[in-house]
A and B are shown apart, each in its own frame.
Chain A
């Protein structure tokens, strides 16, 4: 197996996502080398913010993504409610209030699509629990450019539709329970430290 130098992780989650994200992000150490970028479908007004809540529960630092911010390792970035989050080729974030995609803003597809353009084969995409089809087009794109595609095992997901839809159109690399996804992502840490 060729050891690829993964440089970033993108995660998409919808219904049931809070629990799933916690299970995964808790396994990442504070000095985790890669940036992790998350779209979680959510109502527009959550207090405290999802980022603040996750930050309190996890070792790794969790923050809301800001526009034009440079994407750095050891950080989990959460898409702000009501905005699409995009990754630019210079590895900064952009936000948009473009129309909803598949009823969603932020849209997982929009994040994955732009991140695949920016990181190419060095990207890991993860689709978690959800009751819609968001993320499947984006995951397909990640796989097309040579990145790694991971899906939560639909049998273990609170809502199985989103991971199932993703598996329908893409030959994903891994179908795993949350625990295993956390381990897989944590394991990427050893491969390319210092290269970011």
Chain B
């Protein structure tokens, strides 16, 4: 076996161990990114072979915590891809306005920036009172950060710019107050958000949603898992429900492709039609 083949085997064994011991299933993640993350954790832990992580994954809870944290680092920001939020505002808000109440599922919300962006958008459109937002992630630590709604103040400039490009109606500074290097979002933005643990890989349908937002999560999965998760979204959506994916993601190759119509092509916004 070449060193590369051995390493591949080590990673397979590691993922089996993580699954059997802790129930988190990374076996259908796209391998290249996963490998980078595993090797990064290996390096900062002072280890030389991936297989050295095995006993620690099995016996050391703190190490597993670190593993889980490293596997789910995502970089998210408020109103990333402002055009997407502009499209939601222009094309989806009019649809939501026809409902007396509606449910939104933000799947894979990570540290929550984007959930609050949606809360802001709905507030500005006078719809927040009718909304119930479910924000889920498999990483409990991310959810803790998300539920606090406190972010580094040095990001605010970017968020302010994004918010403006996304069609923001009032100054972004209305939504937070800054203190000691942090920006704390207005408590009122949290009112309709429920943060909860849900693993897209292993957990079931999250029912009767009118809008599902899941951006830059599917890119980490292989085709098989992407297809499974898109089926889950399909089943979780009400008839005529809306699905918003990342701008580089698509449902074109999934077996639910013909059950949706395109609402906004470049922004990857779809509507369930069958």
Q: Which residues of A contact B (CB under 8 A)?
A: 66-68, 80, 83-84, 86-89, 94-100, 110, 113-114, 117-118, 120, 145
Contact = CB atoms under 8 A, between A and B. Distances in A.
A88 B75 contact: no
B73 interface: yes
A99 B220 CA distance: 14
A68 B219 CA distance: 9
Nearest to A101: B36
B32 A86 contact: yes
B33 A86 contact: yes
Contacts of A114: 32, 36
Given A97-B75, A97-B216, A66 B248 contact: yes
Given A67-B248, A86-B36, A98-B74, 14 more contacts: A67-B219, A67-B249, A84-B33, A86-B30, A87-B32, A88-B31, A94-B32, A94-B33, A98-B37, A98-B75, A114-B32, A117-B4, A118-B32, A145-B4
B109 to A, nearest CB: 14
Nearest to B83: A45
Closest 10 CB pairs of A and B: A86-B32, A94-B30, A114-B32, A96-B33, A95-B219, A97-B216, A88-B32, A94-B32, A67-B219, A97-B75
A88 B219 contact: no
Nearest to A118: B32
Interface centre among B4, B32, B76, B249 (most CB of A within 10 A): B32
Contacts of B180: none
A96 B74 CA distance: 9
Interface of B: 4, 8, 30-33, 35-37, 73-76, 216, 219-220, 223, 248-249, 253
A163 to B, nearest CB: 24
17 contacts: A66-B248, A67-B248, A83-B219, A84-B33, A86-B32, A86-B33, A89-B31, A94-B30, A94-B219, A95-B219, A97-B74, A98-B36, A99-B75, A110-B36, A114-B32, A117-B32, A117-B35
A66 B31 CA distance: 16
A86 B219 CA distance: 11
Contacts of A86: 30, 32-33, 36
Contacts of B30: 86, 88, 94
Given A88-B31, A98-B75, A68 B253 contact: yes
A102 B249 CA distance: 25
Given A68-B253, A86-B32, A96 B220 contact: yes
Contacts of B73: 98-99
Interface centre among A68, A80, A120, A145 (most CB of B within 10 A): A68
A90 to B, nearest CB: 9
Nearest to B218: A67
Contacts of A80: 248
A97 B37 contact: no
Contacts of B76: 97
Nearest to B40: A98
A188 to B, nearest CB: 23
A120 B30 CA distance: 19
A145 B8 CA distance: 16
Contact of A113 (B36, B223, B253): B36
Contacts of B32: 86-89, 94, 114, 117-118
Contacts of B37: 98
Contacts of A117: 4, 32, 35
Nearest to B76: A97
A44 to B, nearest CB: 9
A89 B33 CA distance: 12
A104 B36 CA distance: 16
Nearest to A111: B32
Contacts of A97: 74-76, 216, 219
Contacts of B249: 67
Nearest to A94: B30
